[in-house]
Chain A
Amino acid sequence: MSEFLEAVASHAFMRNAVIAGLLASVACGVVGTYVVTRRITLIAGSLAHTVLGGMGAAYYFRTVNEWSWLHPLHGAVAAALVAAVIISMVRVYGREREDTLISALWAIGMAIGIMFIVRTPGYKTDLMTYLFGNIIMADENAIRVLMGLDIVIIVIGLLFYKQLLAVCFDEEYARLRAVNIGVFYTLLLCLTALTVVTLIYVVGIIMVIALMTLPVAVAGRFAKRLWHMMVLAALLSGIFTTAGLAISFGPDFPPGATTILLAGGVYVGVSLALQPLHRVLNRRMRRSRPVG
């Protein structure tokens, strides 16, 4: 542990890694809570994988056309937003099967990404970095983009809290109260897309859904209100990512996988610990509830 603290004190890349993890955690707490309560984690998974298409394309054009201003993160944001709008359009206006489209985007995005990465000449970036994340790779540039995303996510997520809460809890009622469901559902998916991008740096495309849902699931055991759940999930997520980094540093474990295993362990532990209590409470409630 002291080794890790020394590294943070002396190396900029370690500080960046910790900052990237904490920035992603705040977005993850706010948006992950909407995603879990609205039950759209499958969509979050699809958006995460679609991102590879955008990252691969940005990487290709950066190398081949020498567009040095183009960061793979830009491609990631664009791909995630496009996929979010497509899924939302189909949900609101279309007659297509929603889950089929979500799964198709998932695979098509990956296929595009692999194609571009393989065709990029010269030194090949490691596909594994995108898939499993490498928080150590977060440079100053990435931190700036992540911070911008974080501000957008948090400001929108909090300004429209009451509409998003209503859309997640009871969409039909929200619609009857003059909330534009099309706009807010699209907004929710776009926020999800941006959050996915911030998380990809921390744990990689494949493990995004886990970091988006596990801290929220643990927080859900204790939270009575949606914003309590957001605060608690953000704190837990910050602890998981930082601790994941610290634990992985000494023995040189992959930080993303370490973070997820830690989050998964806490989730299973909390679920098991609260299970008997939960059951007792349920039984008591059932006994006291009148049979109708």
Chain B
Amino acid sequence: MQSEPVIRVRDLDFSYDGRNLVLEDVNVDVNGGEFAAVIGPNGGGKTTLLRLILGLLEPQRGTIDVFDRRPCESRRRIGYMPQYPRLDPDFPVTVMDVALMGRLAKGPRVGPYRRVDRDVALGALDEVSCADLRNRSFSRLSSGQRQRVLIARALSSEPDLLLLDEPTSNLDPSVQDDLHDLLHTLNERMTVIVVSHDVAFVSKHVNRVVCVNRTVALHPTSEMKGDLVSMLYGDHGVRLVDHEHHSHED
């Protein structure tokens, strides 16, 4: 597994209106092969950070590099899974149609997808155990199946970095466990970053935690003492993160 820095954020400020900073003085590193969880309360700037990494937003100050290049130049190497509720539930597409969208940047610009695109998309569906659903209507799937199909869409772009926005929201616990295992398997060949408002996502597989609440604190989960996070989030029985050497400002 490569250990080049996949994401390097330096002295980054961001605000939507030019006055109130949503993110302030952010420094983040995520290395190749890591499984990182970006957690923090809703409204804390997680999604903003994600959109900066995807190059959908530009920072006010500071720099952000993805694979040593500007974010929008590295998009082809990023597999992205958005939050499902953003999509129209009545849209007439099949599971295969959705998975094939991951091939848009790789397939021919004009005309239909090639056979190789179909094979890769089907392979991606197989990897998330949804290959037998390929002719089903996307709108008729359960929430868990939809999340898996959206992960397959991200995988069919053959990414080096997988970015997932709230993949476990609206899933019941047993389905969440399956998803954790799936992401762990994928982490063997690519860097995985998961954004979640749920601290329970810091499972045994995660080896870096990025806490975002306007400012950012980084934690390797190997140094586990964990009194502060349990106080912050009031959640026990999850893998805890050491906040001793950092101070969240609010």
Chain A residues within CB distance 8 Å of chain B: 37, 39, 159-163, 165-166, 168-170, 172-179, 220, 223-226, 228-229, 285, 289-292
Contact = CB atoms under 8 A, between A and B. Distances in A.
Contact of A289 (B75, B78, B87, B143): B143
Interface in B58-111: 75-76, 78, 80, 82, 86-88, 90-94, 97-98, 100-102, 104-105, 107, 110-111
A176 B170 contact: no
B112 interface: yes
Contacts of B144: 290
B93 A165 contact: yes
Interface in B140-185: 140, 142-144, 153, 157, 169-172, 175
A223 B109 CA distance: 26
A176 B113 contact: no
A224 B97 CA distance: 11
Interface residues of B, number: 39
Most chain-A CB neighbours within 10 Å: which of B87, B91, B170?
A: B91
Contact of A285 (B90, B91, B140): B140
B175 A172 contact: no
Nearest to A230: B92
Interface of B: 54, 56, 75-76, 78, 80, 82, 86-88, 90-94, 97-98, 100-102, 104-105, 107, 110-113, 137, 140, 142-144, 153, 157, 169-172, 175
Contacts of A229: 92
Contacts of B143: 289-290, 292
Contacts, number: 88
25 contacts: A37-B88, A37-B92, A159-B111, A165-B93, A165-B101, A168-B91, A169-B91, A169-B93, A169-B101, A175-B56, A176-B54, A176-B75, A177-B104, A178-B104, A178-B105, A179-B104, A179-B105, A220-B92, A290-B143, A290-B144, A290-B175, A291-B172, A292-B170, A292-B171, A292-B172
B215 to A, nearest CB: 27
Nearest to A226: B92
Contact of A178 (B76, B92, B110): B76
Contact of A223 (B86, B92, B171): B92
A229 B102 CA distance: 22
A226 B137 CA distance: 11
A200 to B, nearest CB: 27
A172 to B, nearest CB: 7
Contacts of B90: 220
Most chain-B CB neighbours within 10 Å: which of A161, A166, A224, A291?
A: A224
B105 A177 contact: yes
A201 B142 CA distance: 45
Given A159-B111, A178-B104, A225 B94 contact: yes
A168 B104 CA distance: 14
Contacts of A226: 92-93, 97
Given A162-B112, A179-B104, A224-B92, A173 B170 contact: no
A169 B88 contact: yes
A163 to B, nearest CB: 7
A289 B82 contact: no
Most chain-B CB neighbours within 10 Å: which of A161, A177, A179, A289?
A: A177
Contacts of A162: 100-101, 104, 107, 112-113
B134 to A, nearest CB: 12
